[in-house]
Amino acid sequence: MSVAVKGWPSLAAIVLLFALMGGDPSAALGSPPASSDIAAFLARHWQRPLAANGPAPGNFSALEASLSPAACGACHPRQFADWRSALHSHAMSPGLLGQLQAMGPGARDRHQACLQCHAPLAEQEDHLVDSLTAGRMLPPLADGASAADGLTCAGCHVRGNRRFGPPRSDGTVPAADAQLPHDGWQATPAFEDSRFCAACHQFAPGGPGLNGKPFENTYEEWRESRYARAGVSCQSCHMPQRRHLWRGIHDPKMVRSGLTIDAALVSAAGRVAAELSVANTGVGHDFPTYVTPKVEVEIAQLDRHGEVIPATVLRRLISRDVSLDLTVERADTRLRPGELRRYRYDRARDRRAAAVLLRIRVFPDAFYAEFYRATLKDPSFRTGRAAIRAALERAQASAYQLYDARLPLPARPAQPGA
């Protein structure tokens, strides 16, 4: 896909657009009256920018006082190991950092338009400003809150030095006189509720979007699905047994778990007729939910060496395909929860054809790759260039093959008279 760089909005304009996405995305979400306590808790919990935690209580050891994920990990090793393997821990990515560098150290409000989701602690903002001023990512501060840690344990669990979390999974409660580290925790069912995730995975109605759909609409897509009615939350699929895994479009196993894919040869008498069906049988929202990935379906004839015969290729996208400046939605071919789509192929058989290929490839960061390429073509974009170059490499490297079937065609009948 070629990008018209002329007339392409400057990075500043894009950043502004993201800034518009700020505000309080959770505030306007519909909430059933019975769960208004949860709604009230979440409105407080996710009131951004988050307030600084301030000095820890005097009875806390240095380990309990630290906001560093590694410190939490000393006592919660399983959550720490899972979190480190998940994208939440990599949310201060080169693609984000390059844009923050371009904003400069003084632009705290503009940083917050991004950090409120990517690295939300006030202590991380301070560390980011110091790092941008120094021109390099500084080592973590004494209290352990590093901007480089992205979305940390404390970002979700700590406010005013108090721990918040779900009730114990076995339903018991700590004894009243229990001497727990960090003075225990305040238990709330809000952590088991999908609205907890909506704080960052849903824009408010009227927020930036196209054709009546916000650019981030995951919670609403889920709410309209049978999963919401059956009480299957975001956590049920993304945090099984409370594990901190959060696998998504970047993980082939997770994506396969949500789809049912079938390939069949329909008939081949002089023609090649085949069908690939893709059903969203286990994704709790649209597949894929965001405008940023592209999923490509490809059906083609192969020669006897297994090479694609170029003139025979059929390609279709499963995506919400928007222009780079986010002003035009070219197509929305995503699969709704429960939806089945059949891709039919029926073409004359190439004389070299020996098999038919049916495959699906996933480009999790397709939109970002395009955006970085356009940004690097802009000669006035200087600060942050190295980071954006690294981000482009990462965005291209995340592509993978989801599905690949090669069905042999019957041998051609011998030509009469040959």
Min separation Cβ 294 and ligand HEC, Å: 10
Contact in structure between 275 and 264 (CB atoms under 8 Å): yes
Draw the binding track, 239-278, toward ligand HEC (x: CB under 6 A; -: no contact): x--x-x-x-xxx---xx-xx--------------------
CA distance 102 to 95: 11
Token representation of residue 105: 């150290």
Instruction: Count how many Cα atoms sit within 13 Å of the Cα of residue 150 in the half-sphere of its side chain.
Output: 15
Q: Does 174 bind ligand HEC (CB under 6 A)?
A: yes
Draw the binding track, 347-386, toward ligand HEC (x: CB under 6 A; -: no contact): -----------------x---x------------------
Q: Does 104 bind ligand HEC (CB under 6 A)?
A: no
Instruction: State which residue, 243 or 349, has the beta carbon closest to ligand HEC.
Output: 243
Work out which of 11, 72, 360, 387 binds ligand HEC, going by CB under 6 A: 72
Min separation Cβ 120 and ligand HEC, Å: 5
Q: Euclidean distance between the first and final Cα of the chain, in Å?
A: 45
Q: Does 159 bind ligand HEC (CB under 6 A)?
A: no
| Residue 397, phi-psi category: left (phi > 0), alpha (psi -120 to 50), beta (remainder) | alpha
Q: Does 214 bind ligand HEC (CB under 6 A)?
A: no
Q: Does 194 bind ligand HEC (CB under 6 A)?
A: yes
Work out which of 201, 294, 320, 359 binds ligand HEC, going by CB under 6 A: 201
CA distance 178 to 164: 17
Q: Please report, for residues 28, 171, 196, 204, 403, the alpha-carbon distance to residue 189 in angstroms, rounded to integers and kept in the order given.
A: 20, 12, 10, 23, 39
CA distance 384 to 396: 19
Work out which of 64, 143, 298, 321 binds ligand HEC, going by CB under 6 A: 64
Q: Does 197 bind ligand HEC (CB under 6 A)?
A: yes
Q: Please report, for residues 36, 38, 193, the alpha-carbon distance to residue 186 in angstroms, rounded to integers and kept in the order given.
A: 18, 13, 16
Closest CA to 157 of 68, 247, 30: 68
Contact in structure between 318 and 249 (CB atoms under 8 Å): no
Work out which of 45, 88, 127, 359 binds ligand HEC, going by CB under 6 A: 88
Output the residue with the shortest Cβ distance to ligand HEC. 284
Instruction: State which residue, 215 or 345, has the beta carbon closest to ligand HEC.
Output: 215
Q: Does 79 bind ligand HEC (CB under 6 A)?
A: yes
CA distance 260 to 240: 21
Q: Please report, for residues 105, 132, 262, 412, the alpha-carbon distance to residue 416 in angstroms, rounded to integers and kept in the order given.
A: 78, 77, 36, 11
Min separation Cβ 176 and ligand HEC, Å: 13
Q: Please report, for residues 99, 111, 121, 338, the alpha-carbon distance to residue 115 in angstroms, rounded to integers and kept in the order given.
A: 12, 6, 8, 34
Min separation Cβ 351 and ligand HEC, Å: 40
Q: Does 51 bind ligand HEC (CB under 6 A)?
A: no
Instruction: State which residue, 127 or 285, has the beta carbon closest to ligand HEC.
Output: 285
According to CB under 6 A, which residues from 111 to 150 bind ligand HEC? 113-114, 116-118, 120
Q: Can you give the C-alpha Rg of the chain in angstroms?
A: 25
Instruction: State which residue, 241 or 415, has the beta carbon closest to ligand HEC.
Output: 241
Draw the binding track, 302-341, toward ligand HEC (x: CB under 6 A; -: no contact): ----------------------------------------
- Say how many residues touch ligand HEC, by CB under 6 A: 92
Min separation Cβ 35 and ligand HEC, Å: 15
Residue 311: burial class (beta carbons within 10 Å; 0-12, 13-18, 19+):
exposed
Min separation Cβ 371 and ligand HEC, Å: 8
Work out which of 41, 191, 343, 363 binds ligand HEC, going by CB under 6 A: 191
Contact in structure between 383 and 340 (CB atoms under 8 Å): no
